[in-house]
């Protein structure tokens, strides 16, 4: 019967489809197992190498580069999403680093694909959530020396702090020396180059305050001219 071409083709297609379905199921099962057992939780061996790793916290698998985890402290009930990079110090194996060059507080959520690169001090206080692909750093590159590539020039390290209860939208960049206050919303795609006060909304490149909370008036909009005069 299998000598008939149409039956042979049908049988071959069924075998191929069944094989593809089985392979797909195995790949998905393997990926699920990888995410379950590849993530870093407080009881894992890798967590013991961190400066601190709080109860009920997790760094989801797959994670990006983690450099000098002994200088990274993570609070309790914090979720660090997939593909996040965490780095402390200037180079891998940087000696003498304190355990909290990068400190992430309790109940934080660091969005997928984000990067936190601390050389001296980045503090993310409790209950801070971020969107995906947020970048926070306390050091930039210099450009003053014309006979040296920019990538090889360092700039002074300037500590960064993100206040409790704040939200950084998708793609936000926080540059060195910035303090973001408590309960602050930073709009998607914004670049924060200077301090933002408590209880405000800031957007743009560079980020500027567009709304603030007053104890009497509540939330009020800030006009463009006022925002510029306040922050320049």
State the catalytic residues. Answer: 141
Sheet order of strands, 58-59 included: 58-59, 79-80, 109-110, 129-130, 167-168, 185-186, 200-203, 208-214, 218-221
Q: Report the DSSP pairing between strands 208-214 and 200-203.
A: antiparallel
d(CA 82, CA 85): 9
Residues in the chain: 232
Which of 183, 44, 59, 47 lies closest to 110, judged by CA? 59
């Amino acid at each position: 019967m299998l000598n008939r071409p149409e039956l042979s083709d049908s049988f071959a297609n069924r075998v191929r489809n069944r094989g593809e379905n089985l392979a797909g199921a195995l790949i998905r099962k393997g990926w699920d197992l990888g995410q379950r057992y590849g993530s870093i939780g407080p009881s894992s061996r890798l967590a013991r190498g961190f400066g601190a790793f709080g109860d009920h916290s997790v760094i989801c698998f797959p994670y990006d580069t983690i450099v000098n985890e002994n200088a990274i402290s993570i609070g309790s009930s914090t979720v660090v999403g997939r593909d996040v990079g965490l780095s402390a110090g200037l180079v891998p194996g940087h000696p003498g680093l304190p355990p909290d060059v990068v400190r992430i507080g309790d109940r934080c959520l660091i969005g997928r694909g984000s990067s936190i690169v601390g050389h001296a001090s980045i503090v993310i206080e409790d209950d801070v959530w971020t969107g995906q692909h947020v970048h926070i750093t306390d050091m930039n590159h210099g450009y003053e020396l014309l006979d040296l590539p920019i990538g090889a020039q360092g700039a002074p390290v300037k500590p960064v702090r993100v206040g409790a209860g704040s939200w950084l939208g998708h793609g936000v960049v926080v540059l060195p020396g910035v303090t973001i206050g408590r309960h602050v919303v930073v709009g998607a795609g914004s670049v924060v180059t200077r301090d933002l006060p408590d209880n405000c909304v800031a957007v743009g490149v560079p980020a500027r305050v567009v709304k603030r909370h007053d104890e009497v008036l509540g939330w009020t909009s800030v006009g463009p001219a006022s925002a510029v005069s306040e922050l320049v």
